[in-house]
Structure 1
Amino acid sequence: MKIGARVLKTGLAITLSIYIANFILPTGYGTLAAIGASLSTKPSIKTSFETLVSRIISNIIGGIIAVAMMYALNTSPITIGITCVVTIAVLNALNMSNVIPLSVVNITVIMLGKTENYYSYALIRILETTIGVVVAFIVNWLIFPPKYDRTFFSVLESTTLEVLMLLRAALRKNTEFSTLNTDLQWARARIDKFKELFQLLRQEWLFTPKQRIATSRKLVVYREMGRATSLAIELLDALHRNSQVYNDFPLEMRSRFRRRIETLMSAHEQILLKFYGKVGIDEVNYMSMKLEHRDEYIQMFFDHVRTDTGIDTESFIRGGNSIIEILAASIHYEEQLNRLNHIVRLYKKRHDHEEIPFQHYDETN
């Protein structure tokens, strides 16, 4: 069982909401404040603020509709159901579907209240819900505000290093097919986690244009890092799915291909080190092949397609496609590394003074 900061903040927001609601409003109120707080602690400050605004607006809309329906049709289960339907339709039309649950709860509580003064009762309930939403936002903002930089880099670095180790093993035919299946599923799940954290980083609440510009620059680098790791996974997947074809490569061809990929993987690691300041800005220039060597290298694959993929058409197409798929995956990986290297070099030359939130080989580990 894991209790994180967000869970603790939710509990704190609920407690404070109930206390504040009972202090400001008549005794006995606090239920909607607690519900509002529990539904409003979001993973980023920006999302929390957007939720705060949306929920206040939706609660006002729901309260107005509820009071109007009670005066027009009185209170009954059918009236409550109709009111909820109308409110949901209005909120959907306003692109506020994410705040519908709390609005429906608010409407139900208002319309089930045994009081003749609908206006004051609805106003109190709306205020009560607003207290919970506001308290949740303030708690999320001031107490352990979400910081995803460290987790982001931890996921990126550990996934990259693990994938490169798996690639080295696959290149030397040291992996089990079933085990690598599981490893690829893990790697894809980690990339999904990376993308989720990247979106949260994009949603950071920044106050000044200078902060926003600096963060945007870093996000460009982070995005290209993620793409490089994703393409390394695609190359590993291509080798895995076409392992029989790769194992049938001529010895010299397989040796040259392995050396080429190991060069790219070494460059990948050193580009990350360059970003962390461990490698010189103008280093890692050994990835590119001379033009004549590149032409010969690529021609080697096409020659193998023509000579060693079987005599029947089906075998030729299937085997040839597998060979070209392996080559294409390696070229895509190489192109992305060149792009990443260029972007990191520019970033370090122009903005090396900006703080990097996570340092490679953190001394606290």
Structure 2
Amino acid sequence: MKIQKPGMRNIKTGIGVMICVLIGYIHIIDNIFFAATACIVCMQTTVKSSLTVGLNRLKGTLVGGLIGFLFVLIRPGSPVLACLGVITTIYVCNVLNIKNSITVASIVYCAIMLNIGTNNPLTYSLGRTWDTSMGVIIGVAVNYYIFRPNYLNSIYKEIRIIETTSIKLLQSEIEKGIHMDRSFLKKEISKLEGLYKNFLEELEYSNQELDDEEINKTIKRCKQIYLHLQILEQMKDKCYLNKENYIKSKSLCEGLAKNLEIKERTSIVYNYHIGAIIKNINEIHEIGEHNSINENNEKLAIFV
């Protein structure tokens, strides 16, 4: 079994819970459990999703806390009121169009209704609302300030991986006619799309700039490479490179076999797809070169 390193979201969740516990020691929050739970739930992949989940949890906490307070005044722990209170809580969330907060609101309601004991209803309701709110704030703050991912850097690194993988698949196709497994390439393209989606979510909370059109075109080119390779796999007849594609392939593929049989005016469809793959690889290479120049300029500026 391969042992994997814990991800940054994993580590940040632990840090957030630790902060909740430390704050609990100095009595800023009363019930550490509610704060820690809220913090864990709010620790999402991006800051935007953390804020969205956090706001939903706050809304649910306020609704559940208010209804819990009103019902606990009648009779704490009553089975009938517990039922009616949950129904009321869900109904109010639907009316307020905060359906994503239904689960949280119901849990907060039950926590107040069933766990109040001898506590003052108002104090207990406000306390649970405050504890949850602090957990949300801590979760969002940790996600924003600690180990914040550089999605733009990750996007360019992923493009390099796709470029390298595409060249290997191209060389294998040209040299041996053996179709290598393309599933890794497909997986990396999906990963690139995911990173790009996360970056767009983070963009309003970041000072980074990105050419949206350039990345979109690059993703399309990566998909086109995969599509052309897929078509080549369906070609059963023996195919030959033309001279133009052979020359272009040599500049891309290190150690390309020299004994390849070159034929002009044959395998036209085959050469069309090979040429399209080469063209797309060269185009996605350019975006990486542009990024490398920018990175070097940034490092030089820092050094100077």
Q: Secondary structure at the match of 2:161?
A: helix
Normalising by structure 2, we get a TM-score of: 0.75
1:269 aligned residue: 281
Residues 276, 356 of structure 1: 8 Å contact kept: no
**Structure 1 gap ranges (5+):** 279-347, 360-365
Which consecutive residues of structure 2, in runs of 5 or more, have no partner in the other structure?
Answer: 241-262, 299-304
C-alpha contact 1:34 1:132 (8 A) present in aligned 2? yes
Q: Which residue of 2 aligns with 1:34?
A: 36
Report if the CA contact (8 A) 2:64-2:107 is conserved.
no
Among 219, 239, 243, the alignment partner of 2:235 is 243
Letter in 2 for 1:151: S
User: Which deviations, in whole Å up to 9, do the C-alpha atoms of 1:121-148 show, x marking residues without a partner?
Assistant: 1110010011111011111111111222
SS in 2 for 1:3: coil
Residue 159 (structure 2) pairs with residue 166 (structure 1): no
Q: Check the 8 A contact 1:106/1:129 in 2, yes or no.
A: no
CA-atom RMSD in angstroms: 3.4
Match of 1:11 in 2: 14
How far the C-alpha of 1:116 sits from its partner, in A, is 5.2
Distance 1:204 1:80, change over 3 A: same
Secondary structure class of the residue paired with 1:267: helix
The amino acid of 1:221's aligned partner reads E
**Would you say the 8 A contact 2:35–2:136 is kept in 1?**
yes
- Check whether the contact 1:42–1:48 (CA below 8 A) recurs between aligned residues: yes
What is the CA distance between 1:89 and its match in structure 2? Answer: 4.7
SS of the residue corresponding to residue 56 of structure 1 reads helix
8 Å contact from structure 1 (residues 41, 136) kept in 2: yes
* Paired amino acid for 2:286: K
Q: CA deviation at 1:62?
A: 1.5
TM-superposed CA distance for 1:228, in Å, is: 0.8
For 2:274 and 2:229, how far apart are their aligned partners in 1?
12
Cross-structure match for 2:86: 84
Letter of the structure 2 residue corresponding to residue 125 of structure 1: R
Most deviating of 61-70 and 222-231: 61-70
The superposition leaves residues 157-199 of structure 1 with CA deviations (integer Å, 9 ceiling, x where unpaired) of 21233134324433555215xxx4xx23332222222221111
CA separation of 1:272 and 1:219: change in aligned 2, threshold 3 A: same
How far did residue 4 of structure 1 move?
2.2
User: What letter corresponds to residue 69 of structure 1 in structure 2?
Assistant: F
Normalised by the size of structure 1, how large is the TM-score? 0.64
Structure-2 residue corresponding to 1:107? 109
In the alignment, the residues of structure 2 paired with residue 78 and residue 175 of structure 1 have an alpha-carbon distance, to the nearest angstrom, of 70
Name the structure 1 match of 2:148: 145
Q: Residues 33 and 26 of structure 1: is their aligned pair in 2 closer, same or farther, counting only changes over 3 Å?
A: closer
Kindly report which structure 2 residues correspond to 1:114-193, keeping only aligned pairs within 5 A, or say none.
114-115=117-118, 117-171=120-174, 174-176=177-179, 180=180, 183-193=181-191
In 2: Cα distance, 1:184 partner to 1:118 partner: 62
Alpha-carbon distance in 2 for matches of 1:77, 1:154: 57
How do 1:221-236 and structure 2 match up within 5 A? 221-236=214-229
Paired residues in the alignment total 273
CA separation of 1:263 and 1:231: change in aligned 2, threshold 3 A: closer
| Cα distance in 1 for residues equivalent to 2:120 and 2:39 | 26
Change in 2 beyond 3 A, CA 1:100/1:173: farther
